[in-house]
Structure 1
Amino acid sequence: MLNRVILIGRLTKDPELRYTPAGVAVTQFTLAVDRPFTSQGGEREADFIPVVTWRQLAETCANYLRKGRLTAVEGRIQVRNYENNEGKRVYVTEVIADNVRFLESNRDGGGSGGSSREESSNNSNNSGGGNNRSNYNSNNGNNNSRDNQDPFSDDGKPIDISDDDLPF
């Protein structure tokens, strides 16, 4: 069985960051994803898909995502239900994201200069729990020491590898 979804769209409003009673961060936002066709009137239509992120990924999304930003989301579809105040059963379909990629730099001038930032976490249960890991594709402004830089970053220079170092 497989439950995997990848979406690219724009945020309809700023993400909403909240905390559970146990202190776990959760962020909700809606992604507007264009449909691949136009309506009979020639207008472009979009789907508005609710997205939920948890823990460190939630806090990062709340800090860096803003309305209108182009964003890629990878995760799984989850359907949950509850009984509302009127006693009716309400079904909610949403994407639980475990990987969010910011595809545009900040428009406010304090952005990442065009580089993308990626956050991901491995969720192990339906409530979004699990181990978190973050991977920022920038050197965090620390250019003084080679020890703190990513040795695999693309600096535009060719890599010199002899045939003796290759395992095949």
Structure 2
Amino acid sequence: MNKAVFLDRDGVINEVLSDRVKFVNKPADLYLLEGVGDAVRLLNEHGYDVFVVTNQGGIALGYMKEQQLHEVHKKMLREIETHGGTIKEIAYCSHAPKAGCACRKPEPKMITDLANKYDINLEVSYMIGDRDVDITAGKRAGVKTILVGEEDVPEADYHFPHLLDAAKWIAEQSI
């Protein structure tokens, strides 16, 4: 079985609600947070498959088309790859926030579907997010959870200021 790190996108990988961008609805809106490419590379180097699991309700709400989301993700992957990092797959929920679907975080379906597809051992894997829905999804999936950023989510197993700090800690644990 493989080990993995599941990453939320907005607020973990890229800026959102910042001075430069409110929401990421087109490639020009995507700005990687500092250290993200290096963090993904470090996780890959320590044997972790890295996945993105992201709620993208803006599609159902009409703020963007699904093709625009794919273009945003292509740009994100290219930028991470310039640092030597690889995202194995991106899973997203395009349903509206109140749709009640099984794939929208805090539900764990995106994580568990990827785990089944790629033979991931959830007990040695992590979910990294910046909000309570990310942490809840990780808990429900059976992975260790890491909160990044300034929000306070006491249920998180670990808390770090940025993704790179979390990746360095995970790398130390895998030695």
Both structures adopt the same fold (TM-score exceeding 0.5): no
More strand per residue: 1
- TM-score between the two structures when normalised by the length of structure 1: 0.24
- TM-score between the two structures when normalised by the length of structure 2: 0.23
More helix per residue: 2
